[in-house]
Amino acid sequence: MLFQRKTLLDPLVKLCLEPQKKGENWVNSHYIRGPAGSGKTVLLELLRRELLKHSQITVYHFQNAKALDRFDQQVWKALLASAEREPDRRLVVVVDEVQDNVRAEAWSTLRESSGFPNFVVVGFGIKPLMADSPVLFQDKWPVSNIYLTSGRK
């Protein structure tokens, strides 16, 4: 299973490391979903560890989306301001169990991060997100419990 996770891990790491350029294909938010037990949390941890090896990246890791409520909007706005002040530093917010808190106020501010090419949001969850959900990820990666694939749908 580790090899199969690596086929998904490598493209995710690349997306978080490489500066995005505004344009047609600009995507800075990614949602990986799959059934319970499919290895999403392990993948998240592998992603976090890999990103922490790079000094130009700051990683904010939330083990559960409920933790987003611990910070008020001022904190999130400050995070966006730091992305603007330090365009060479990559900021990556990684959130597990997105489905546990789709109504968090933080999502509206994190959506604003799409204006910053050095800011990436990666969410992991079980359920497909509804169209009316305030959580909007530009890129959605399905994950099968049989094979973790890098194919996108």
> What are the structural domain ranges in the chain?
2-18+27-142
Say if residue 30's pLDDT is above 90. no
Token reading at 95: 């959130």
Tens digits of residue pLDDT in 83-93:
889 888 889 99
Mean pLDDT of the chain: 79
C-alpha 98/C-alpha 135 separation (Å) is 8
CA atoms within 13 A on the CB side of 2: 2
Give 141's pLDDT tier (boundaries 50, 70, 90).
Answer: low
Nearest CA to 22 out of 121, 117, 140, 120 is that of: 117
Question: Of the given ranges (45-49, 79-83, 102-106, 135-139), which has the lowest mean pLDDT?
Answer: 135-139
C-alpha 140/C-alpha 106 separation (Å) is 19
Q: Which CATH architecture has domain 2-18+27-142?
A: 3-Layer(aba) Sandwich (3.40)
C-alpha 39/C-alpha 26 separation (Å) is 27
pTM for the model: 0.81
Say if residue 150's pLDDT is above 60. no
Cβ pair 124, 30 in contact under 8 A: no
Tens digits of residue pLDDT in 60-100:
999 999 999 998 888 888 888 988 898 888 899 999 999 89
